[in-house]
Amino acid sequence: MSERDQVLFILAKKIHGDIAGRIAERLSRVGEATDEQLSQALGIEIGIIRRLLNELYESRFVRYRRVRDVDQGWYLYYWRLTDDDPFRVVEERKKKVLENLKLKLEHEESGSYFVCPQCKTRYSFDDVADYMFRCPECGSDLEAADNSLIIDKLKMVIRRLEELKLE
């Protein structure tokens, strides 16, 4: 296994879990395999393999080649590890996380929130207006929630990620 493949294997395992790491490790060893071949080799249900392959594809850890089966008319997907530099893969992942955090920050800064003192469930203004500011679970009066700590933490994480240089 090459050093690049080892890095991809470790990242896949850390981000998507042990089974995804096993998939990446197997692809590194065999070069290319179908979802059925991976399922048989790893002893894992094909549905789980397919879901993880799609997650790994979205994260740019794997690529596929599509071939039409002449006999059945279906497409077969041959999966392999990406040729991309692992730093590029991580940089793209960082961008997606930053986008999501910025959307969450915008949502937190622009909304009003309420919390149930009994259930500790948090609701947005839109959620509670229909319930006359009473908890839909237990009926308690809802209290205005201070989300300044959440906003401060989101800003700190965003700043740290933006400052993080991966190469």
Q: Domains in the chain, start-ordered, CATH in brackets? A: 3-84 (1.10.10.10), 87-163 (no CATH)
pLDDT, tens digit, for every residue of 59-109? 889 999 999 988 888 899 999 999 888 888 888 888 989 999 999 999 999
Q: What is the pLDDT of residue 155?
A: 97
Local confidence band at 167 (pLDDT 50, 70, 90 cut-offs): low
pLDDT tens digit sequence for 112-136: 999 999 999 999 998 888 888 999 9
Q: What is the DSSP string of 115-146?
A: E-TTT--EEEHHHHHTTTTB-TTT-PBPEE--
User: If pLDDT is split at 50, 70 and 90, which confidence band does 41 have?
Assistant: very high
If you average pLDDT over residues 142-154, what whole number do you get? 94
User: How many residues make up the chain in this entry?
Assistant: 167
Residue 3: what pLDDT? 82
pLDDT of 15-35, one tens digit each?
A: 999 999 999 999 999 999 999
Q: What is the pLDDT of residue 166?
A: 66
- Do 80 and 63 form a contact (C-beta atoms < 8 A)? yes
Q: Spell out a b/e string for 124-162, using b for 16 or more CB atoms within 10 Å of the CB, else e.
A: eeeebeeeeeebeeeeeebeeeebeebeeebeeebeeee
